[in-house]
Amino acid sequence: MPGSTRQALVDRCRAVLEHTPPDGWTCPSAEFYPHQWLWDSCFTAIGLTHVDPARAADELRSLVRGQWDDGCSRT
């Protein structure tokens, strides 16, 4: 992949990852399912580690905050 094409892809990925709803966690699709989902947040956190490690940690912390005492998620 040529450098300019790769950089364009990186820039587009970064733009997607930088979009954060007011709740502080990444909403995969406000139209289709406006809730936080475990897998989506985990994969988002993996991507965020490359551009914003602190936000990646916040994404995972928000999952833990949403858990009930029995380990299920309410978010």
Q: Per-residue pLDDT tens for 50-68?
A: 888 998 999 899 888 877 7
Cβ atoms of 27 and 34 within 8 Å: the answer is yes
Residue 73 maps to a domain: no
- CA–CA dist 62, 64 (Å, integer): 5
pLDDT, tens digit (0-9, with 9 covering 90-100), for 34-53? 777 788 889 889 988 988 89
Structure tokens that stand for 11 in this block: 């820039």
Residue 50 maps to a domain: yes
- CA–CA dist 41, 62 (Å, integer): 9
Q: Output the pTM of the full model.
A: 0.70
Residue 71 maps to a domain: no
Report how many domains make up the chain.
Answer: 1
Range of the domain at 41: 3-65
Category of 42 on φ-ψ map: left (φ > 0), alpha (ψ -120 to 50) or beta: alpha
Of residues 24 and 22, the one with the higher pLDDT is 24
